[in-house]
A and B are shown apart, each in its own frame.
Chain A
């Protein structure tokens, strides 16, 4: 046991520390040096999911049902798998429209409907009240355990009624300090996020510390916990996956329902939406959170079973409330410091939830319930000059106190009858009603306001009937007869077995019916009538959010507003809601952005109206902002044709921008191509120059030398003259071939395409070059098919190719035993000519470039003279007739040059444009 002043002092100091962290983060944010722009902080702030319910309740649930506590955490893990797709889209939409709450998100999607916003707010408030009660119960119960030991609860009843109220009021003050210190148009609370991230760390460490203490301090490790639990009668069931469920096999329906519920909750609970979407500073943080948040959940669940089993083993089943094991286990062992730390962890879990939840709820209540009501009051509009920011803050403060008091009330009504876990699930089922309208809204353009409203309202009513009322009735506050017999004795309307459905537990039962009604109404009514213009335009902006935000920039997103506005009206409105300072900065920024010379010269066009409306939406919600703008400006009603037209204009602008971009890219590409052509031409000229200069060098040098040395020996003189002649021939060949290639490449070559016999051409070419082989004592073998082989080509050009290949082969013949073979064979659609020799072959390094200009394989000293243009020209010719040329050579084993030509395709030869 610990004395009350100690517990209170530690709690107070802890809250002060939290406040210091928050104040520090707020100050840094004001200086523009944010401390929360970090994926780890984002991840930790998501862990606000783990409340006192997790901290105390999971152990209780595990003690009663074994692994049955797990679906609550499996759901979020599964949800985070698709976070990058779904959550990122929600964040992008929320930031684009300055959305500040889940009610605002849904209402904005369906045409900024105030009615839908109000409904969503009511659902959220009613839905989370039990959850708030749960936190109060946990904190005060924990306090009682610490200060009064674990005596029977009745004795303490009187005390902790007041205690819970005290806690509620203290936390209200705390939430007010955190969440409503100033009115921020983006509704971001950096200090709060930093404090929550810290709290997440504290509760994780505290829980792990207790877990480690139980597992290794009180037991000899996990295996020991398990072994000793097994020895106890009744505990073996907990260790089975279907444990505690009466052993009737694995409860698929319950697991599925619970996991799905938790999946929705992690996105849709007001505090989760606040942390994940509204407070997200950079959507890229989602990437890390997608695995780090599940890892956090895994860590905090690690010791749930050991603590639960350990408590049951040490205290004996039924002696202590398992939901207090986290505190009572250390306490019973005299580890008071650890117990106090554990309590601080639980306090963290509870206060974190309460702060974020009440801040989120207060924003909704203020923007979506109170503001619309105020806007309808005639006197409200009359206060034209007044600054409303203080009023807004006060509404929120009142809302925080109100919500916490409601939680306290529920705690008084139902707190005794239910375990923590069951209370939490009631809240989960309530916010699950947002799922169809929200998820449908961001992926389905067809969803309408009527559908969303009816779906949410219907689902909510079913939830009240099947879950909320029974929870109140079971607490004894209203007669519970209708639970068993149905209202007025109508059995099929009994809340926990509608239409006689009794196979499911009450929660799955409620979830099944409420979501069935919800989805059916949403889809059915959406399909029944086409959306209005405003719904259609918002649907487009939501569903296509990534398309609008893509490379072309946000300015080209369509703006669905028609009408006339005066600048003074807009500046006046903004000043009232943003305060004079922020309003001035807003218009100055806008003037800079639109290149207006001064604020007074800003054009009050649709773009400005849209921007002001979005900015105001950040303060009062999109529905209220819509109402305010419609009063401040002269609007033309927006028809569905207007929407189509605006979309058309926007997409035209986008298409134009895309076309421009594409044209630019094409120009760049063409320029690159030209540059590389230029480079190629430069290289070609350089090569030609080199090839021309080399023979010229010999010719000039040798002739000069002969001129200067008349006394030269006759043999030497003859040798020089021989070289001069050979080099002159080389020059001549080179000039001819360069011209030939240039003609072919530029398309100026003349082609005389006729039907010709390739077999005859090959044998004629062989005869023409026979002398070359004969000179080298080489053998030339022909293996040709019988009869003519006809195709369409220019016979002179093909002869040129054959002679080039054959003289190459002859040139490279070895001194003795030279042998070349010409092969003409048929493949389907092709005629293939192969010229095989037993020369040195082409070195591997040269094979890839052998068909390029001026690439001669081998060593200049040993290779026969050549221009380096024969093969490129031959290849050009063959390709001109639709064929191709290739080389197959193993160095040292000869080479085989071959080319193939298409047969029976006259057009292949004829139709190629020569330009």
Chain B
């Protein structure tokens, strides 16, 4: 049984790269293109980990993160926030929302994979 990882990002080309990376690392990959569908996928599929983009249409990644943390049924899901906004305030927002880790774009693919593996270990 493979580990499910959800990629939630609205930039198609970033999704392509993340999807390739996660598949190569041996995870089963799910994709969501906006906030509401990400939350819906989380509820339906219960992935072990979510790669969550901060800025998405419909519902920001921060909001999705907060919604997940507010739902006791979704406890234990690891969340790694990815965002192109690198200001301190944004990072604080991400941590405040309850993310397990916070990575700014652009990121090193190796580091990211290593981080995901550690979080799932």
Enumerate chain A interface residues (CB-CB to B < 8 A). 686, 689-690, 693-702, 704-705, 708-709, 716, 719-720, 723, 726-727, 859-861
**B3 in contact (CB, < 8 A):** no
A686 and B18 alpha carbons, distance in the complex (Å): 24
**B16 in contact (CB, < 8 A):** yes
**1/0 per position for B49-68, CB-CB distance to A under 8 A?**
00000010100000000000
Question: When the two chains form their complex, are residues A708 and B11 in contact, meaning their CB atoms are under 8 A apart?
Answer: no
CB-nearest residue of chain A to B10: A860
CB-nearest residue of chain A to B87: A686
A726 and B12 alpha carbons, distance in the complex (Å): 12
CB distance from B104 to the nearest CB of A (A): 8
Partner of B106, one of A696, A708, A860: A696
Instruction: State whether A694 and B20 are in contact (beta carbons under 8 Å apart), knowing that A686-B85, A701-B107, A704-B110 are contacts in the complex.
Output: no
Sorted nearest first, the 5 A-B pairs with minimum C-beta distance are: A701-B17, A693-B84, A698-B13, A697-B105, A697-B106
Question: When the two chains form their complex, are residues A701 and B21 in contact, meaning their CB atoms are under 8 A apart?
Answer: yes
Instruction: Identify which of A701, A704, A720, A861 gathers the most chain B CB atoms within 10 Å of its CB.
Output: A701
CB-nearest residue of chain A to B24: A709
**1/0 per position for B1-40, CB-CB distance to A under 8 A?**
0000000001111101110110010000000011000000
Question: When the two chains form their complex, are residues A698 and B110 in contact, meaning their CB atoms are under 8 A apart?
Answer: no
Partner of B109, one of A686, A705, A726, A861: A705
A709 and B113 alpha carbons, distance in the complex (Å): 14
Enumerate chain B interface residues (CB-CB to A < 8 A). 10-14, 16-18, 20-21, 24, 33-34, 55, 57, 84-87, 104-110
Question: When the two chains form their complex, are residues B33 and A861 in contact, meaning their CB atoms are under 8 A apart?
Answer: yes
Instruction: State whether A705 and B20 are in contact (beta carbons under 8 Å apart), knowing that A693-B105, A861-B10, A861-B33 are contacts in the complex.
Output: yes
Question: When the two chains form their complex, are residues A701 and B84 in contact, meaning their CB atoms are under 8 A apart?
Answer: no
A389 and B13 alpha carbons, distance in the complex (Å): 97
A727 and B14 alpha carbons, distance in the complex (Å): 10
Partner of A697, one of B10, B14, B21, B85: B14
Instruction: State whether A708 and B110 are in contact (beta carbons under 8 Å apart), knowing that A694-B84, A723-B16, A861-B33 are contacts in the complex.
Output: yes
A690 and B55 alpha carbons, distance in the complex (Å): 9
Question: When the two chains form their complex, are residues B107 and A698 in contact, meaning their CB atoms are under 8 A apart?
Answer: no
A701 and B111 alpha carbons, distance in the complex (Å): 11
CB-nearest residue of chain B to A700: B106
CB distance from A719 to the nearest CB of B (A): 8
Residues of B within 8 A of A708 (CB): 109-110
CB-nearest residue of chain A to B86: A689
Instruction: Identify which of B18, B20, B86, B110 gathers the most chain A CB atoms within 10 Å of its CB.
Output: B20
Question: When the two chains form their complex, are residues A697 and B84 in contact, meaning their CB atoms are under 8 A apart?
Answer: yes
A719 and B18 alpha carbons, distance in the complex (Å): 14
CB-nearest residue of chain A to B20: A705
A855 and B116 alpha carbons, distance in the complex (Å): 33
CB-nearest residue of chain A to B55: A690
Residues of A within 8 A of B16 (CB): 698, 702, 719-720, 723
Instruction: State whether A705 and B33 are in contact (beta carbons under 8 Å apart), knowing that A689-B86, A697-B106 are contacts in the complex.
Output: no
Question: When the two chains form their complex, are residues B85 and A690 in contact, meaning their CB atoms are under 8 A apart?
Answer: yes
Residues of B within 8 A of A860 (CB): 10-12, 33, 57
**Can you list 19 A-B pairs with a CB-CB distance of less than 8 A?**
A686-B87, A689-B84, A690-B55, A693-B84, A693-B104, A694-B84, A696-B105, A696-B106, A701-B17, A701-B107, A701-B109, A702-B17, A704-B109, A708-B109, A720-B16, A723-B16, A727-B13, A860-B11, A860-B57
Residues of B within 8 A of A693 (CB): 84, 86, 104-106
CB-nearest residue of chain A to B89: A686
CB distance from B36 to the nearest CB of A (A): 12
CB distance from B60 to the nearest CB of A (A): 13
A695 and B12 alpha carbons, distance in the complex (Å): 11
Instruction: State whether A701 and B86 are in contact (beta carbons under 8 Å apart), knowing that A694-B105, A708-B109, A860-B11 are contacts in the complex.
Output: no
A859 and B33 alpha carbons, distance in the complex (Å): 9
CB-nearest residue of chain B to A704: B109
Partner of A705, one of B10, B21, B34, B84: B21
A689 and B105 alpha carbons, distance in the complex (Å): 10
A726 and B20 alpha carbons, distance in the complex (Å): 18
A315 and B33 alpha carbons, distance in the complex (Å): 98
Partner of A723, one of B13, B33, B57, B110: B13
Residues of A within 8 A of B85 (CB): 686, 689-690
Residues of A within 8 A of B55 (CB): 690
CB-nearest residue of chain B to A687: B85
CB-nearest residue of chain B to A722: B13
A705 and B20 alpha carbons, distance in the complex (Å): 8
A133 and B107 alpha carbons, distance in the complex (Å): 103
Residues of B within 8 A of A720 (CB): 16
A716 and B17 alpha carbons, distance in the complex (Å): 11
Instruction: Identify which of B33, B104, B109 gathers the most chain A CB atoms within 10 Å of its CB.
Output: B109
CB distance from A111 to the nearest CB of B (A): 69
Question: When the two chains form their complex, are residues A690 and B84 in contact, meaning their CB atoms are under 8 A apart?
Answer: yes
CB distance from B11 to the nearest CB of A (A): 6
A723 and B11 alpha carbons, distance in the complex (Å): 12
CB distance from B79 to the nearest CB of A (A): 19
Instruction: Identify which of A700, A708, A860 gathers the most chain B CB atoms within 10 Å of its CB.
Output: A860
Partner of A694, one of B11, B24, B33, B57: B11
Residues of A within 8 A of B109 (CB): 700-701, 704-705, 708
Residues of B within 8 A of A699 (CB): 106
A860 and B12 alpha carbons, distance in the complex (Å): 8
CB-nearest residue of chain A to B105: A697
Residues of A within 8 A of B108 (CB): 700, 704
A11 and B33 alpha carbons, distance in the complex (Å): 92
Residues of A within 8 A of B21 (CB): 701, 705
CB-nearest residue of chain A to B13: A698
Question: When the two chains form their complex, are residues B87 and A694 in contact, meaning their CB atoms are under 8 A apart?
Answer: no
Question: When the two chains form their complex, are residues A701 and B14 in contact, meaning their CB atoms are under 8 A apart?
Answer: yes
CB distance from B112 to the nearest CB of A (A): 8
A719 and B16 alpha carbons, distance in the complex (Å): 10
A700 and B20 alpha carbons, distance in the complex (Å): 14
CB-nearest residue of chain A to B113: A708
Residues of A within 8 A of B33 (CB): 859-861
Given A686-B85, A690-B85, A701-B21, 18 more A-B residue pairs with CB atoms under 8 Å apart are: A693-B104, A694-B11, A694-B14, A694-B105, A697-B11, A698-B11, A698-B16, A700-B108, A701-B14, A701-B17, A701-B109, A702-B13, A704-B109, A705-B20, A705-B21, A723-B13, A726-B13, A860-B12
Residues of A within 8 A of B84 (CB): 689-690, 693-694, 697
A394 and B13 alpha carbons, distance in the complex (Å): 102
Question: When the two chains form their complex, are residues B17 and A705 in contact, meaning their CB atoms are under 8 A apart?
Answer: yes
